[in-house]
């Protein structure tokens, strides 16, 4: 059977809560990053409101001209993250962080604990975590030669996933393997699968759209997906 038949297609998704009709207010971590910018573009195109969590030093160039709010802080500071998430302000939080510039220490573990704790306290309904192939059951299909380099990072991302799942906050984990350049156009043929052994390549634009297709959507709740366009 063609695996795509088992998948979520954007048109089949059902709103999870009534607020969706007016769009969610979504807080995006990693908003100044390559994927983060694509996510914010897709959020606005889908009628959501977006707040970009950025560092004081972040280059906001990719977000310029967009009708968004900013929350400024460092995700490694629990207080900064808490301050960015007042009770009731956001329905959904997206974590598109990458450890760029954070070479030392357990970046994903620490940052996700801060985000999860603040989201729980603030009554956030859904955390969307951008994960990586190699976490959870997908370790079985992760190439051993790459594991030697990326294993420690992927174990961090695995622990971050587990932190979210254990928190009781609604979640959607979207793992990917290789992401193609932010400058490539969307193909429109990417998809999400619950098959944790599926691997493939995807563009940032397609990934941004698939992430946003899950925002506030019941069929994505408490699920782990792999995002794929061309299978490897
Ligand atoms: N690149 C790939 O091929 C690939 C493959 C698999 C999975 N992924 C995953 O895709 C996601 C996004 O990747 P990307 O390539 O878009 O990353 P990116 O361009 O390097 O962006 C990283 C983002 O994280 C932010 N950030 C880092 N440390 C921070 C801190 N201490 N406080 C606040 N913000 C901080 C950066 O802010 P600044 O602008 O201030 O630095 C930036 O916005 C990650 O989860 C990554 O693991 C990527």
Q: What is the pLDDT of residue 232?
A: 57
For residue 92, which of 176, 205, 169, 159 has the smallest C-alpha distance? 169
Nearest-angstrom CA–CA distance, 135 and 130:
11
Residue 98 beta carbon below 6 angstroms from any ligand 1 atom:
yes
State the CATH class of domain 3-231.
Answer: alpha beta
Residue 178 beta carbon below 6 angstroms from any ligand 1 atom:
yes
Q: What is the domain partition of the chain in residue ranges?
A: 3-231
Q: What is the pLDDT of residue 204?
A: 93
Spans in the chain with pLDDT lower than 50:
1-21
Q: What is the pLDDT of residue 219?
A: 96
- Give the mutation target among 35, 54, 94 for probing the ligand 1 site: most ligand atoms within 8 A of CB: 35
Q: What is the pLDDT of residue 230?
A: 80
Residue 33 beta carbon below 6 angstroms from any ligand 1 atom:
yes
Q: What is the pLDDT of residue 3?
A: 41
Residue 227 beta carbon below 6 angstroms from any ligand 1 atom:
no
Q: What is the pLDDT of residue 4?
A: 41
Q: What is the pLDDT of residue 13?
A: 42
Cα separations in angstroms, 2 against 160, 167, 221: 32, 34, 24
User: Rounded to 5 degrees, what are φ and ψ at 196?
Assistant: -75, 0
């Amino acid at each position: 059977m063609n695996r795509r038949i088992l998948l979520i297609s954007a048109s089949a998704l059902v709103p999870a809560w009534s607020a969706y009709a007016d769009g969610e207010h979504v807080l995006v971590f990693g908003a100044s990053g390559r994927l983060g910018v694509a996510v914010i573009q897709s959020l606005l195109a889908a009628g959501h409101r977006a707040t970009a969590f950025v560092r004081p030093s972040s280059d906001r160039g990719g977000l310029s001209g967009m009708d968004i709010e900013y929350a400024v802080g460092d995700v490694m500071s629990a207080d900064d993250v808490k301050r960015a998430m007042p009770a009731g302000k956001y329905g959904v939080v997206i974590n598109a962080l990458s450890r760029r510039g954070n070479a030392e220490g357990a970046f994903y573990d620490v940052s996700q604990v801060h985000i999860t704790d603040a989201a729980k306290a603030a009554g956030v309904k859904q955390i969307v975590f951008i994960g990586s192939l190699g976490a959870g059951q997908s370790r079985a299909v992760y190439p051993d030669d790459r594991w030697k380099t990326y294993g420690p990072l992927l174990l961090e991302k695995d622990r971050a996933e587990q932190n979210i799942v254990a928190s009781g906050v609604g979640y959607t984990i979207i793992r990917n393997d290789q992401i193609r350049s932010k400058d490539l156009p969307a193909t429109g043929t990417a998809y999400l699968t619950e098959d944790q052994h599926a691997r493939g390549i995807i563009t940032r634009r397609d990934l941004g759209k698939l992430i946003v297709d899950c925002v506030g959507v019941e069929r994505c709740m408490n699920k782990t997906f792999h995002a794929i366009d061309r299978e490897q």
